[in-house]
Amino acid sequence: MISRRQLLEGIAAGLAVCCGWPRPASALGGTLPPLDQPAPDFSLDGVPGSRSLADFRGQWLVLYFYPRDFTEGCTIEARGFQRDLEQFHRLGSEVVGISADSADSHAEFCGSEALVYPLLSDPGGAVSRRYGSWIAPFSQRHTFLIDPDGILRAQWLGVRPLGHSQEVLATLKEWQLKS
């Protein structure tokens, strides 16, 4: 059974399509940035230091948002990306995680899980909001694939941590075949 909200959203989406109205995509965490458009800019502190979207120009970027360091699902997801990191690098891609946790928490998490890719701190959720990935006080488990020109090419919402890294790798390979 669908909820009243789902019914109303479905009707609104149908009207938007029929009438040609522009309608921003939304997810549980807010309004999503549109695919095939420039990715929302960011600049955040973290481990091993500050990073911005511009730092990744010229390479593919897997930007994943997650709720909390040291939780079961987040640990599974982080380990998957770490396990597959060499494959991402061979494909000219970097992996970056973002959550509301502090840089100190990220440093402990990276140390305990031997993570060598950047984890960035978004304590107020400003960047998470730009990516439609924020329900205070946590970032939602969403992932975005950004091309070397800074264009958002793919998104995963409400990610299931187990096997997610392989799912992203497969999509990255598909996009690179198109390029």
DSSP letters along 30-92, please? EEPPPTTSBPPP-EE-EESS-EEGGGGTTSEEEEEE-S-TTSHHHHHHHHHHHHTHHHHHHTT
Q: Which two tokens stand for residue 132?
A: 């439609």
| Segment 16-35 mean pLDDT | 63
Q: What pLDDT does residue 11 have?
A: 47
CA 60, CA 164: separation in Å to the nearest integer? 17
pLDDT tens, residue by residue, 69-113:
999 999 999 999 999 999 999 999 999 999 999 999 999 999 999
Specify the residue for token string 């990744």: 56
Q: Are 28 and 131 in contact (CB under 8 A)?
A: no
Kindly indicate the confidence band of residue 121, based on its pLDDT and cuts at 50, 70 and 90: very high
CB 169 within 8 A of CB 81: no
Sign of the alpha-carbon torsion through 74, 38, 26, 174: negative
* Catalytically active residues, by annotation: 74
Task: Provide φ and ψ at 41, rounded to 5°.
Answer: -70, 155
CATH code for the structural domain at 26-178: 3.40.30.10
Domain range annotation of the chain: 26-178
Percent of the chain's residues with pLDDT above 90: 80
pLDDT at 13 over 80: no
Cα 173 versus chain centre, distance: 17
Residues sharing a CB contact under 8 Å with residue 10, sequence separation 6 or more, in sequence order: 2
